[in-house]
Amino acid sequence: MFELKSLKKRIPNGAVRWLFLWCCMYGCNKEEPDGQITIPEIQIFKSDEKLTMENGTRYLSGKPFSGYVIEKYPTGIVKSRTAYWRGRKEKWSYTFYKNGKKNSSRYYVKGEKEGQHTAWWPNDSLRFVYRYQKGVNEGVQLNYFDNGVISKKQYYTKGKEEGRQRMWNRQGKMLTNYIVKNGKRYGIVGRSDCVSVLDKAE
C-alpha cells in the first residue's frame, strides 16, 4: 500500500490521477469466486480522446477498458451509460431521453446480447420487449405503438423466425398473420387467416 499524500509530493497531479485510474482499472478488474464479474467504478466520457473502439472492443489508452462509458446531453443529463469488461459490453447498458426518462435497457454477456431488452416511448409506454440468447433473438419478440397498441408479435428460435408471426396497425387491426415452420413460411402476408394454408401444407 502507499499513501496518496506522500505520492503527490513526488509525482505531478495529472500523473497521480492516471495512476489512480490505472490501479482501479487493472487492480479491480477481476471476477468474483462465484464467477460473477465486478465492473470497476470507473466512468469515462464517450468523447474522451483516449477512448477508442476497434472490432467491437473498447480501449482506453490502448488497453481493453473495464468500467462505464458515459454520454451526456449538452444540458448535463446522462444520455447513455454502458458497462464494459475487458473491452466488451457486460451487464447493463442504459439510454435516456433529454428529460432524463429511461429510453432503453439492454443486457450483455461477453459483448453479446442476452436476456430481456426493453425500450420505452417518451410517454413511458412500452416500445419493444426483445429476448436474446447468446447474441441472437430467442422466444417471443414484442413491438408496440406509442398509443400502447401492439404492432408486432414474433417468435424466434436461435435467431430465426419460428412459429406464428403477426402484425397490427395503430388501431389494432391485424395486417399480417403467417406461420414459419422449419424455415418455411405458411400463410399470406396481409391476411389474418393462415390456418387453412398450413393445414393444406401439412
21: CB partners within 8 A, 6+ apart:
42
pTM, 2 dp: 0.77
End-to-end CA distance of the chain: 73
pLDDT at 115 over 70: yes
Over range 103-119, report the average pLDDT: 97
Position 200 scores a pLDDT of 36
Position 6 scores a pLDDT of 40
Find how far residue 93's CA is from the centre of its chain: 5
Position 28 scores a pLDDT of 47
The strand pairing partners of 139, in sequence order, are: 156
Position 187 scores a pLDDT of 80
Residue 69's Cβ-count burial label (10 Å; 0-12, 13-18, 19+) is: buried
Q: What percent of the chain has pLDDT over 90?
A: 73
| In contact, 22 and 14? CB cutoff 8 Å | no
| In contact, 58 and 52? CB cutoff 8 Å | yes
Residue 42's SS3 state is coil
pLDDT per residue as tens digits for the range 145-186 = 999 999 999 999 999 999 999 999 999 999 999 999 998 999
